[in-house]
């Protein structure tokens, strides 16, 4: 067995090298403690890098109470962490790495060059200058115990290794994009130790829809722009968002769908079977019902319905096709009825969410009741949890990343305080 480190030299590990894990490591190092980072992949923060390929939305600049509300039921739990490491704090932290940021559309915040790689390079340089060591290709396999001590098992290119640590931060992510390292395999080992873990579910995901073969053959890949989608959730709250989505061969996807994926998924899982989950599409959120009727009033002069929508309302060809599919009894000559349908077209009830491996992020995870305010597991003293392993979810992009950074900071500060109080100071 590996040698246990003395109280004078506690050995601290962070397992998982995404944003939450690296932030925890940075905070531990700033407390004057030595920390090692272990990750299953050949290089760190792979999901972070891939998410930044199309433009790294790092956080948001909206009103802070509104920002906190984006976390839904987890807002109360996350607020103290976000208070301690707010969106403004995150921007200052990025600026201290030498990376400038700017506020784009919808109050989204981006690095000046829109990329994640320069930020990560600067961050890793700072971590190494603090003495943080990183061990890639170390996949955590679970524990084994010997004479009351817990040993951590890792699969490595050289074979299985067993290590002892005085304290650990787990930041292993959820179960989305498993090819980048987050596969959810940690759930069962934690459950076996009495840790409460809610089932992992897809979040920020697409949905399967029962499109007709006509829609699939003629319109798969078609974007729907400048629209609004709405639904009423389990508590009776109405959600409405504007933006864009895509009609795919399997159903619907895109940023607007992802923004509503959590309440829609929950309706599918827990809703009233007599009132199936459904999204309502507003083709013209900028126009009122009366304005639409006014534009439709002049004579059609032999134009097809699709041409009427295109010429008078500037709507794409897919609009008439979806209206015929979603509102088959619609009287196309009744301007009021057409306006009603354009303002609230019922999409087909989804068949299923897309697989969790395709989702951008994950809901579920270690429950709030299973950790203390410092994110230490109640059944495993000295083991802390951060990031997407925790049972919260957020809209894609900056909300997700900000909470990962904030929870990583909370866990890093928590493990540092715990080690100093229970090992170093007691040893003195």
pLDDT tens per residue, range 388-404 = 999 999 988 899 999 99
Residue 76 has pLDDT above 50, yes or no: yes
Residue 1 has pLDDT above 80, yes or no: no
How far is 323 from 319, CA to CA, in rounded Å? 6
12-203+362-427: in CATH 3.50.50.60: yes
Residue 3 has pLDDT above 50, yes or no: no
Question: Which pLDDT belongs to residue 8?
Answer: 58
Going by pLDDT thresholds of 50, 70 and 90, the confidence category of residue 5 is very low
Judged by DSSP in three states, 197 sits in strand
Question: Which pLDDT belongs to residue 147?
Answer: 79
Residue 427 has pLDDT above 70, yes or no: no
Question: Which pLDDT belongs to residue 312?
Answer: 93
Domain locations in the chain?
A: 12-203+362-427, 207-353
How far is 364 from 274, CA to CA, in rounded Å? 26
Question: Which pLDDT belongs to residue 428?
Answer: 52
337: tokens are 């009825």
How far is 59 from 334, CA to CA, in rounded Å? 46
pLDDT tens per residue, range 322-335 = 999 999 999 999 99
pLDDT tens per residue, range 288-306 = 999 999 999 877 777 899 9
| Nearest CA-CA partner of 168 in 428, 377, 404 | 377
173-to-21, 23, 176, 359, 398 alpha-carbon distances in Å: 9, 14, 8, 13, 16
| pLDDT over 90, % of the chain | 86
Going by pLDDT thresholds of 50, 70 and 90, the confidence category of residue 50 is confident
Chain-wide mean pLDDT for the chain?
A: 93
Check if the beta carbon of residue 264 is closer than 8 Å to that of residue 279. yes
Question: Which pLDDT belongs to residue 424?
Answer: 66
Residue 7 has pLDDT above 70, yes or no: no
Question: Which pLDDT belongs to residue 313?
Answer: 95
DSSP of 156-179, one letter per residue?
ETTEEEEEE-SEEEE----SSSGG
Residue 149 has pLDDT above 90, yes or no: no
How far is 196 from 192, CA to CA, in rounded Å? 10
Average pLDDT value for residue range 338-346: 97
pTM, two decimal places? 0.91
401: tokens are 């990343």
Least confident of 7-11, 277-281, 367-371: 7-11
Question: Which residues, 6+ apart, have CB-to-CB distance to 373 below 8 Å?
Answer: 80
Check if the beta carbon of residue 217 is closer than 8 Å to that of residue 380. no
| pLDDT over 70, % of the chain | 97
Residue 86 has pLDDT above 60, yes or no: yes
Residue 2 has pLDDT above 50, yes or no: no
pLDDT tens per residue, range 248-286 = 999 999 999 999 999 999 999 998 887 889 999 999 999
Question: Which pLDDT belongs to residue 87?
Answer: 98
Question: Which pLDDT belongs to residue 89?
Answer: 98
pLDDT tens per residue, range 216-244 = 999 999 999 999 999 999 889 999 999 99
How, if at all, do strands 133-135 and 35-38 pair?
A: parallel
Buried b (16+ CB within 10 A) or exposed e, 183-222: bbebbebbeeeebbbeebbbbbbbbbbebeeebeeebeeb
How far the first Cα of the chain sits from its last, in Å, is 26
How far is 38 from 152, CA to CA, in rounded Å? 11
85: tokens are 């490491």
């Amino acid at each position: 067995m590996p040698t246990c480190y003395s109280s004078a030299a506690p050995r601290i590990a962070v397992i998982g090298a995404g944003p939450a894990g690296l932030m925890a490591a940075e905070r531990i190092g700033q407390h004057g403690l030595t920390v090692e980072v272990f990750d299953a992949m050949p290089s760190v923060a792979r999901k972070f890098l891939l998410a930044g390929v199309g433009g790294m939305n790092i956080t948001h600049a909206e009103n802070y109470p509104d920002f906190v509300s984006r976390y839904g039921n987890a807002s109360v739990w996350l607020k103290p962490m976000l208070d301690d490491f707010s969106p403004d704090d995150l921007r200052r932290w990025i600026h201290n790495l030498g990376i400038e940021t700017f506020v784009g559309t919808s109050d989204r915040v981006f690095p000046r060059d829109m990329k994640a790689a320069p930020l990560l390079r600067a961050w890793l340089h700072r971590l190494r200058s603090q003495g943080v060591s990183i061990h890639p290709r170390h996949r955590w396999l679970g524990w084994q115990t010997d004479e009351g001590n817990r040993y951590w098992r890792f699969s490595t290119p050289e074979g299985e290794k067993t290590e002892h640590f005085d304290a650990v931060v787990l930041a292993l992510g959820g179960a989305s994009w498993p090819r980048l390292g987050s596969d959810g395999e940690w759930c069962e080992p934690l459950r076996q130790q009495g840790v409460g873990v809610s089932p992992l579910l897809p979040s920020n995901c697409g949905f399967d829809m029962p499109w007709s073969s006509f829609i699939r053959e003629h319109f798969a890949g078609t974007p729907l722009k400048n629209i609004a989608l709405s639904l009423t959730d389990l508590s009776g709250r109405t959600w409405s968002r504007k933006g864009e989505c895509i009609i795919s061969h399997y159903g619907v996807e895109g940023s607007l769908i992802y923004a509503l994926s959590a309440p829609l998924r929950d309706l599918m899982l827990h809703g009233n079977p007599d009132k199936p989950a459904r999204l309502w599409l507003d083709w013209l959120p900028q126009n009122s019902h009366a304005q639409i009727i006014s534009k439709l009033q002049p004579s059609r002069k032999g134009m097809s319905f699709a041409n009427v929508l295109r010429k008078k309302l500037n709507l794409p060809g897919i609009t008439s096709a979806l209206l015929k599919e979603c509102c088959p009894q619609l009287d196309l000559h009744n301007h009021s009825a057409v306006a009603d349908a354009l303002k609230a077209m019922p999409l087909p009830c989804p068949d299923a969410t897309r697989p969790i491996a395709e989702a951008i992020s994950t809901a579920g995870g270690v429950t709030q009741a299973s950790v203390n305010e410092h994110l230490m597991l109640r059944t495993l003293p000295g083991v802390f949890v951060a990031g997407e392993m925790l049972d919260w979810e957020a809209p894609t992009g900056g909300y997700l990343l900000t909470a990962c950074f904030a929870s990583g900071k909370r866990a890093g500060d928590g493990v540092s305080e715990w080690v100093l109080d229970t090992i170093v100071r007691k040893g003195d």
